[in-house]
Structures are given as C-alpha cells and as structure tokens.
Amino acid sequence: MAHQKYLKNVVTLKLEQEKCVGCGLCAIVCPRAVFKIEDDLAWITALDNCMECGACVGNCPVGAITVHAGVGCASAIIHSWLTGDEPSCDCGGGGNC
Ligand code: SF4
Ligand code: SF4
C-alpha cells in the first residue's frame, strides 16, 4: 500500500515544519509512509501517497499538520469514479474539478 500513489499534485496535506517538535507520531500513524523523521523534524517525502485520512493531523501534538480529510480533489474524483457523478470538490477553483 505504501508504494501505491494517489493522484498527483492534488493532496491537501500541509506541514508547518517550524512548529514540529520531532515526536515522530505522524510517521508512526501514517498508513502510507508519507513522512520521514530526520534531524528531529518531520519531512513530507511522499506527498502523492497521502489518502487524506487525517490520522497524522489527529495525532500531531502541536498542530503542525493540516489536511482536508475526505473533501479534497482526490476524494472528489474517486467519489465520481464510484458513483458516475461529476467530480466536485472544495478546492476553490470556482467550480468542478
Ligand atoms: S492524512 Fe493519512 S495518509 Fe495522509 S499523511 Fe496523514 S496519516 Fe498519512
Ligand atoms: S506529529 Fe507533529 S510534532 Fe510530531 S513529528 Fe509529526 S509534525 Fe512533528
């Protein structure tokens, strides 16, 4: 699973590294191996692997990570694949994906 990529360049995951205290929890809980810990800081090394589950956000003790869990463009596109509906998300692009 960790080697499967999601859609490219649509993931809403953000890391404010200046807030990071290097606890490593994000790397531990992430099911897609998106983070690595190096020099006592978290680094995003596989952004497109992120499936926007929100586990890292929920476990970061300092609020260094944000993600729009389940509402990003990737989620919208996958939802459209499953339902046959037009993809629609909250990316701010002024309309559908
Ligand atoms: S949202 Fe989920 S898949 Fe994405 S980086 Fe966080 S824990 Fe990993
Ligand atoms: S969970 Fe937060 S504080 Fe801990 S390593 Fe990850 S980003 Fe840094």
The reported pTM is: 0.73
Q: Please, which pLDDT band fits residue 85 given cuts at 50, 70 and 90?
A: confident
Note the pLDDT tens digit of each residue in 46-83.
999 999 999 999 999 999 999 998 655 555 665 666 77
Closest ligand to C-alpha of residue 50 is 1
Q: How confident is the model at residue 2 (pLDDT cuts 50, 70, 90)?
A: low
Listed as own residue / partner, the contacts of 40-44 with beta carbons closer than 8 Å and 24 or more positions apart are 41/17, 42/15, 42/17, 43/15, 43/17, 44/13, 44/15
Q: Which ligand is nearest to the CA of 30?
A: 1
Q: How far is the CA of 22 from the centre of ligand 2 (A)?
A: 5
Pocket residue to mutate for ligand 2, from 13, 18, 65, most atoms within 8 A of Cβ: 65
Return the closest-CA partner of residue 1 out of 66, 60, 62, 46: 46
Residues with CB under 6 A from ligand 2: 20-26, 37, 42, 59-62, 64-65
Per-residue confidence (pLDDT) for residue 97, from 0 to 100 = 47
- CA pair distance 70, 86, nearest whole angstrom: 16
Q: Count CB atoms within 10 A of the CB of residue 64.
A: 20
Of 52, 65, 75, the residue with max ligand 1 atoms within 8 A of its CB, to mutate for a pocket test, comes to: 52
Report strand pairing: 41-44 vs 35-38. antiparallel
d(CA 39, CA 52): 25
Report yes or no: 62 and 18 within 8 Å, Cβ to Cβ. no
